[in-house]
A and B are shown apart, each in its own frame.
Chain A
Amino acid sequence: MKIRNPKNFWSGVMFFALGLGFALFAQNYDMGTAQRMGPAYFPTVLGALLALLGLGIAIGGLAREGHDGKIDKFHFGPIAWIIGAIVAFGVLLRPAGLVVALVALVTISMFGSHEFKWKEAAAVSFVMGVIVYLVFIYGLKLTIPVWPAFIEN
């Protein structure tokens, strides 16, 4: 069987799965009555609606050709580098401090670009480090560890 409009088909599948997931998971909670709705009531109704709608969208995606239905290529490079950089920032911030986390965030995220240069990464890290220190630490006085824990203490 041919999927005529993959964009809509896969959107439908996604909505169906999420709707079903929410509705089923809500069954762990108390349903209540229409007059006194329990915590499960509204999510069950919404989840069921979403699943039905998702099903409809998916079927439509199978049956109908649409304008621009093909899904554009997923570029895993940029997304992996950028999301990875953000996660690295989160992991490093507490133990290693803002400076290390910032350099990691800038450098790793810049790998995602088509043209990476170490010199540029160093320059952007330096400039951002100065700006961030002035704005967030000196200006807004946020309590973020700046240097690694073993130096700060």
Chain B
Amino acid sequence: MELITNLALGFATALTPINLLYAFVGVLVGTLIGVLPGIGPIATLAMLLPTTYALPPTSALIMLAGIYYGAQYGGSTTAILVNLPGESSSVVTCIDGYQMARKGRAGAALAVAALGSFFAGTVATVIVAALAGPMVEFAFKFGPAEYFSLMVLGLIGAVVLASGSLAKAIAMILLGLLLGLVGTDVNSGVARFSFDIPELTDGIGFVAIAMGVFGFAEIIANVEKREHREVFTDRVGRLWPSGEEFKKAAPAAVRGTLLGSILGVLPGGGALLAAFAAYTVEKKIAKDPSEFGKGAVAGVAGPESANNAGAQTSFIPMLTLGIPPNAVMALMIGAMTIHNIQPGPQVMSSNPALFWGLIASMWIGNLMLVILNLPLIGLWVQLLKVPYRWLYPAILVFCCIGVYSINNNTFDVYMTAAFGVVGYVFYKLRCEPAPLLLGFILGPMMEENLRRAMLLSRGDPMTFVTRPLSLTLLLMAAALLVIVALPAIKAKREEAFQEAD
């Protein structure tokens, strides 16, 4: 049983006191930031990324994964208590979770979300562990042409899921790819688009883009909106769900887990898609669909389990292929490269402790979330009472010190500020920034694989369609685009995203 030995190695790595500590700190700090309204997991990860630089790579990734789950769960807490989704994937939780809170069942909603997420996390960890091996073997069959086509598929998948105009999302990807090319070209040694600025010859800092476009821009947008929050602070209610609530929630959690696990692996998939899909399914199969929107327990359990399962299985393509299926995984790839780990199928054999340790820590992180969050709900509620005008300067301080400490260089601080302005413009023009980040990470990889593929085929672009695996991937990408462009689906898609707004 290779799987058992691998998992044993993983748990041995993840359970060392130091890694346990980092997982704990990650989950705690991730929840802390994630609870703040308007700050989603991407912004949270971008802000906290610099704090992990000094750690050994395994601990750093374990901590980052913890931050991610924490932020995700923190977002759900805010969604339920304040009706403000901290992130897009808890938009759905808002619908019924907040209604439960208004009925005085906030405690039960939070408990259902936590337990559902934990169940989903456990199942998803097993799935990740079981699929990782075969996926890596499959990945070794990939040549540069296949990688290129896979990235195309991944990017198209991400576009389909971005809310708003398709054309704008594709444009954001292209812009991201171009920004990713800034800096020294590995093949020729030419410094591209660097305008003779020495700092730019190393490329645009990936933290600068992520923190500027997601963190700073979100803060500016939040500050200009005046505060109007209604927090259910005094009526969190009994934590433990009633028997009837439990009966309704359990099957929804199982369905959500299955759906989320599958959708998480797909290119472009992940927590957001999973949550939306699970809510739709629950609404469709419910005996009394009119309950939804008025505080249905299944409407909290399903999406919450699904988004956690999806969040976790989206690690599969990231870990095995080195290709991020969504913006959060793009951040994880960025973190790996900062620690000099080249993402790709070889990670499993070259860094087995990191690979399996990270997988094992997923489960440990989820367990910590339950243990940590149920007793600490009172603390999060208190945090939600702190006015935003005190919080955002504090967040800015952490961001600025974090950015500076990457290279001990103030240039990065200015760069981040510039991307904050850019992100604000994107926000005003309703250009979704997640595809940009994905493109930014994939830019250099895509160029490299395109070059290699074309070199191998002696300049014949037909190589992408004559190799069966590559053709299949490209056809899938084309099919996705065609499906989304169909008038009937297009209308449905717009409707779904408008509901989310």
Contact = CB atoms under 8 A, between A and B. Distances in A.
Contacts of B429: 7, 10-11, 14, 71
A14 B352 CA distance: 45
A42 B59 CA distance: 36
A90 B190 contact: no
Nearest to B425: A14
Interface in A108-142: 109-110, 112-116, 120-121, 124, 127-128, 131-132, 136, 140, 142
Nearest to A76: B224
B175 A15 contact: yes
Contact of B216 (A34, A67, A86): A86
B479 interface: no
A71 B193 CA distance: 31
Q: Which of B424, B429, B494 has the most CB of A within 10 A?
A: B429
B123 interface: no
Given A78-B220, A83-B421, A128 B454 contact: no
B142 interface: no
A30 B188 CA distance: 9
Contact of A89 (B167, B400, B459, B461): B400
Interface in A75-115: 75, 77-79, 82-83, 85-87, 89-91, 93-94, 98, 102, 105-106, 109-110, 112-115
Nearest to B165: A8
A54 B431 CA distance: 12
B410 A93 contact: yes
B216 A46 contact: no
A7 B430 contact: yes
A16 B414 CA distance: 26
A46 B177 contact: yes
A85 B461 CA distance: 50
Contact of B394 (A11, A87, A128): A128
Contact of B389 (A26, A36, A98, A120): A120
Contact of A42 (B167, B396, B450, B459): B450
A145 B35 CA distance: 32
A82 B219 contact: yes
A43 B401 CA distance: 33
Nearest to A115: B389
Contact of A78 (B165, B167, B170, B224): B224
Contacts of A15: 168, 171, 174-175
B181 A42 contact: yes
Contacts, number: 185
B22 to A, nearest CB: 13
Interface residues on B, range: 35 or more
B405 interface: yes
A49 B170 CA distance: 10
Contact of A57 (B165, B392, B408): B165
B420 A86 contact: yes
Given A83-B421, A86-B413, A37 B451 contact: yes
Interface residues on A, range: 35 or more
A15 B174 CA distance: 9
Interface string A44-56: 0011011001101
B404 A93 contact: yes
Given A83-B417, A86-B400, A39 B192 contact: yes
A18 B425 CA distance: 14
A50 B396 contact: no
B178 A53 contact: no
Contacts of B346: none
B251 to A, nearest CB: 37
Interface in B430-487: 430-431, 446-447, 450-451, 454-455, 458-459, 461
Contact of B174 (A50, A91, A112): A50
B453 to A, nearest CB: 10
A35 interface: yes
A72 interface: yes
A150 interface: no
A30 B425 CA distance: 33
A94 to B, nearest CB: 7
11 contacts: A11-B430, A29-B188, A34-B454, A39-B187, A42-B446, A43-B181, A46-B174, A57-B165, A83-B420, A106-B393, A121-B393
Given A37-B450, A90-B400, 14 more contacts: A7-B430, A10-B429, A18-B175, A34-B461, A53-B167, A79-B224, A79-B421, A82-B219, A82-B392, A83-B421, A86-B396, A105-B393, A106-B396, A121-B393
Interface of B: 51, 54, 165, 167-168, 170-171, 174-175, 177-178, 181, 185, 187-188, 190, 192-193, 216, 219-220, 223-224, 226, 389-390, 392-394, 396-398, 400-401, 404-405, 408, 410, 413-414, 416-417, 420-421, 424-425, 428-431, 446-447, 450-451, 454-455, 458-459, 461, 494, 498
The 8 residue pairs across chains A and B that have the minimum distance between CB atoms:
A35-B459, A90-B413, A113-B389, A34-B459, A75-B224, A90-B410, A50-B174, A39-B185
